[in-house]
């Protein structure tokens, strides 16, 4: 058994780490996140030049031929640095839909663009009534001539303000919440009838509310088979779950290290507070939560190509472990830092906020416990 990275993977890790060390310290994160656009376009260009965007994409379409482990490497380091630029939305989700569901022509056109940093994608799936059920859709795509007409509203589309194209889920048939009848489309944000309302999120990202009003979508923009989009959505979002698990693990590591370090230097009652057993045990629990999170991240990454039920169970298991661990590690880091942990000035609160919101993304602990139990 060997969990070590290949030489190429080690090189990738080094190049990501170096880029972040040079360009993405905590102050840079705050500056970027609070800038007018909320991201740094130059970083995206740099990611492309460094081959990060191409790393997990197939070689025949301009990628570097890696896979889930390349994604894990990038996302874990991005989690450590609180990176806002939408690697997951564009490469993992966007790239995932095209890789697994795209036609030859779509792959040809889009995977190369993703790898080269020439496009930014965002996934528009959530709806106000739907909670975490991808099939609970009020958005419709009705056949019209050779294409479709899209109508509906999507909630909290992370990264949409930076995107040029959206990947949109809509109902082409079946009743609301039915498994059948769900389809996936690639829609230019500039299409007539698409309107967006952009805003900042509590964890330092940007999102949009997106409305589609009689938007004409050519048949060529359907991704995968009409009406059979749900298995594709589940596969791609399981991959996204693996990616965000790595991100969360990276964030937890920063909080664990910062808290241990702080407890060694902060003195009260004449001793470093790390000498108090009640805090020692809490930090040990933080450590164990981090270790377990690393393990489930590895597990889900390994099982993304496994048989469907096994893959789904692994993704839900990761989501449950990471959701609980993220909450515990985040809250404990704030608590042990005391007042300092509450401030905007210190990084701790910002990691805590990111971890909190990652629990919601693609379904929270309760949702995935239920999904896991139903699969067992």
Partner 1 sequence: MDVSFSPEEEAFRKEVQDFIAETLPKLGKTSRRDFTTKEEFLAWHKALYARGWVAPHWPKQYGGAGWTVTQRYIFNEETAKAETPQTLPFGLSMVGPVIFTYGNEEQKKKFLPRILSGEDWWCQGYSEPGAGSDLASLKTRAVLEGDHYVVNGQKTWTTLAQFADWIFCLVRTNPDVKSQEGITFLLIDMKTPGITVKPIITMEGGHEVNEVFFDNVKVPIENRIGEENKGWTYAKFLLVNERSGIAGVSRSKKNIERLKEIASAETVDGKPLVSTDEFARKIAEVEIDLAALEYTELRTLAEEAKGRFAGPQSSILKIKGTEIQQRITELIVEAIGYYAYPNERGFGDNEYPPGPDYAVGEAGVYFNWRKASIYGGSNEIQHNIIAKAVLGL
Contact 226, 140 (CB under 8 A): no
CA–CA gap between residue 250 and residue 257 (Å, rounded): 11
- In the complex, what is the shortest distance from the CB of residue 237 to partner 1, in angstroms, rounded to a whole number? 14
Residue closer to partner 1, measured from CB, 17 or 364: 364
Stretch that binds partner 1, among 18-26, 95-103, 151-159, 166-174 (CB under 8 A): 151-159
Residue 344 binds partner 1, judged by CB under 8 A: yes
Pick the piece of the chain touching partner 1 (CB under 8 A) from 74-82, 139-147, 299-307, 355-363. Answer: 355-363
Dig out the tokens for 55 from the structure.
């790393």
Binders of partner 1 among residues 179 to 238 (CB under 8 A) are 197, 199-203, 207, 209
Residue 338 as a binder of partner 1 (CB under 8 A): the answer is: yes
Where residue 178 falls (left for φ over 0; alpha for ψ -120 to 50; beta otherwise) is: beta
The crossing angle, in degrees rounded to 10, of helices 26-33 and 348-360 is 60
Neighbours of 219 (CB within 10 A): 12
CA-nearest of 244, 239, 237, 242 to 356 is 244
* 246-265 burial: b if 16+ Cβ within 10 Å, else e: bbbbbbbbbbbebbbebbee
Of 145 and 270, CB closest to partner 1 = 270
Q: Does 10 bind partner 1 (CB under 8 A)?
A: no
Based on CB atoms, which residue is closest to partner 1, 191 or 342? 342
Q: Which is nearer to partner 1, 23 or 331 (CB)?
A: 331
Smallest separation (angstroms) from partner 1 to the CB of 202 = 4
Separation CA 362–CA 79 (nearest Å): 17
The smaller minimum CB distance to partner 1, of residues 114 and 317, is found at 317
Which one of residues 158, 170, 240, 322 is an interface residue with partner 1 (CB under 8 A)?
Answer: 158
Asked if residue 28 binds partner 1 (CB under 8 A), the reply is: no
Return d(Cα 101, Cα 237) in angstroms, integer.
Answer: 13
Q: What x/- string results for residues 80 through 119 when contact with partner 1 is judged by CB under 8 A?
A: ----------------------------------------
Kindly give, in sequence order, each residue whose CB lies less than 8 Å from that of residue 138, ignoring residues fewer than 6 positions away: 127, 129, 130, 152, 153, 171, 176
For the chain, report the end-to-end CA distance as a whole number of angstroms.
27
Q: Is 342 in the site for partner 1 (CB under 8 A)?
A: yes
What DSSP character marks residue 64? -
CA pair distance 129, 52, nearest whole angstrom: 36
Which among 55-63, 81-89, 300-308, 362-370 is the span making contact with partner 1, rule CB under 8 A?
Answer: 362-370
> Which among 88-96, 230-238, 242-250, 359-367 is the span making contact with partner 1, rule CB under 8 A?
359-367
- CA 216/CA 117 separation, integer angstroms: 26
**Smallest distance, partner 1 to C-beta of residue 133, A:** 6
335 near partner 1 (CB under 8 A) = yes
Q: Give the nearer residue to partner 1 in terms of CB position, either 208 or 221.
A: 208
**292: how many CB neighbours lie within 10 A of its CB?**
15
Q: Which one among 113, 350, 354, 371 touches partner 1, defined by CB under 8 A?
A: 350
> Residue 338 region, left (φ>0) first, then alpha (ψ -120 to 50), else beta?
left
343 lies in the binding site for partner 1 (CB under 8 A): yes
The HSE-up count of residue 264 (CA atoms within 13 Å, CB side) is 6
Judged by the rule CB under 8 A, the positions of this chain that interact with partner 1 are: 126, 128-129, 131-133, 136, 155-156, 158, 176-177, 197, 199-203, 207, 209, 267-269, 273, 276, 278-279, 327, 331, 334-335, 338-339, 341-345, 349-350, 352-353, 356-357, 360, 364, 366, 369-370
């Amino acid at each position: 058994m060997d969990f070590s990275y290949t030489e190429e993977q080690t090189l990738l890790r080094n190049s990501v780490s170096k880029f972040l060390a040079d360009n993405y310290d905590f102050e840079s994160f705050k500056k970027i996140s609070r800038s007018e656009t909320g991201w740094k376009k130059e970083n995206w260009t740099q990611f492309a030049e460094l081959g990060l965007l191409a790393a997990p994409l197939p070689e025949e379409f301009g990628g570097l031929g890696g896979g889930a482990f390349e994604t894990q490497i990038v996302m874990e380091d991005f989690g450590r640095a609180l990176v806002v630029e939408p690697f997951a939305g564009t490469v993992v989700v966007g790239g995932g839909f095209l890789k697994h569901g795209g036609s030859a022509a779509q792959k040809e056109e889009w995977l190369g663009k993703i790898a080269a940093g020439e496009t930014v994608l965002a996934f528009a799936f959530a709806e106000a009534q739907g909670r975490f059920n991808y099939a609970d859709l009020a958005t419709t795509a009705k056949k019209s001539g050779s294409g479709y007409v899209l109508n509906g509203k999507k909630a909290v589309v992370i990264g949409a303000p930076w995107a040029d194209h959206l990947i949109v889920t809509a109902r082409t048939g079946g009743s609301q919440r039915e498994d059948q009848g769900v389809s996936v489309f690639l829609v230019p944000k500039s299409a007539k009838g698409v309107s967006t309302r952009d805003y900042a999120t509590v964890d330092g990202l940007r999102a949009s509310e997106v409305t589609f009003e009689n938007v004409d979508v050519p048949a060529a923009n359907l991704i995968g088979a009409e009406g059979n989009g749900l298995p594709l959505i589940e596969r791609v979002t399981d991959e996204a779950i693996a990616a965000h698990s790595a991100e969360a693990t990276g964030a937890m590591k920063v909080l664990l290290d910062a808290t241990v370090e702080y407890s060694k230097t902060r003195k009260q009652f004449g001793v470093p507070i790390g000498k108090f057993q009640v805090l020692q045990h809490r930090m040990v629990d933080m450590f164990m939560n981090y270790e377990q999170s690393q393990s489930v991240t590895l597990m889900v990454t390994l099982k993304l190509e496994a048989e469907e039920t096994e893959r789904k169970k692994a993704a839900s298991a990761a989501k449950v472990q990471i959701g609980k661990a993220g909450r515990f590690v985040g809250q404990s880091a704030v608590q042990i830092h005391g007042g300092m942990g509450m401030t905007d000035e210190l990084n701790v609160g910002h990691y805590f906020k990111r971890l909190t919101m990652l629990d919601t993304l693609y379904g929270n602990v309760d949702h995935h416990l239920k999904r896991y139990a139903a699969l067992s």
